[in-house]
Structure 1
Amino acid sequence: MDATSYPYFRKRIKHYMKTVTNNQEPLMITRKNKRNVVLISVEEYSTLLENQFILSHLESRAWLQTAAEPEVVAESMAESAATEVEEP
């Protein structure tokens, strides 16, 4: 994550906003009082909210943990390959 000071950020706000949105990389803006902030794109923010929502539900979290196990992933891949229909 890149970082810049608040005064420098103010001088180059357009540049930093373009960089954050184009590169999908957050930017830390440091301040004298140590109460720093982070600038992120709307897409990144939406992703964070979606992940928070999914992980806040026990059923979703359990499904993700099960799916992360190697044998479960292998079984899922095998099932999806078996159900694919070949075109003539």
Structure 2
Amino acid sequence: MEAVNYSTFRANLRTYLDKTRDDAEPILVTSNDPDSNVVVINIRDYENLVENDYVKSNTYLYEKLLRGREEARAGRVEAHELVEDDAQFLAAHD
């Protein structure tokens, strides 16, 4: 993770935001007070963090995820064709 002080970040805001967006590289923006430091991340990474936090905080979902991972490692998987037709998908899930 790249670290940059607040003044440099502010002076080159567009460059740092583009870099964060394009490279998915978080940037640590530092100040004289360490409690005021912030991390800038792109929206995809933020949404991923929020989703992971939600899944890990939900015991049922987290255990289901772990069971699925173990089943996949043990080779207990099945291939299914993707449904391309939205109407067909919706009808099958009514």
TM-score tier after normalising by the smaller chain length: 0.7 to 0.9
Match of 2:30 in 1: 30
- How far is the alpha carbon of 1:61 from its aligned partner? 0.6
Structure 2 unaligned segments of length 5 or more: list them: 82-94
CA distance in 2, matches of 1:59, 1:22: 35
The answer as to 2:12 corresponding to 1:12 is yes
Identity %: 28
- How far is the alpha carbon of 1:64 from its aligned partner? 1.6
TM-score normalised per structure 2: 0.74
Structure 1 unaligned segments of length 5 or more: list them: none
Match of 2:65 in 1: 64
CA distance in 1, matches of 2:58, 2:41: 25
- Alpha-carbon RMSD across the aligned residues, in angstroms, is 1.4
AA in 1 matched with 2:65: L
- How far is the alpha carbon of 1:52 from its aligned partner? 1.3
TM-score normalised per structure 1: 0.79
Deviation string 1:5-54 (CA, Å, 9 cap, x unpaired) is 11111111110000000111111111111121100111111111111111
What SS does structure 1 have at the residue aligned with 2:3?
strand
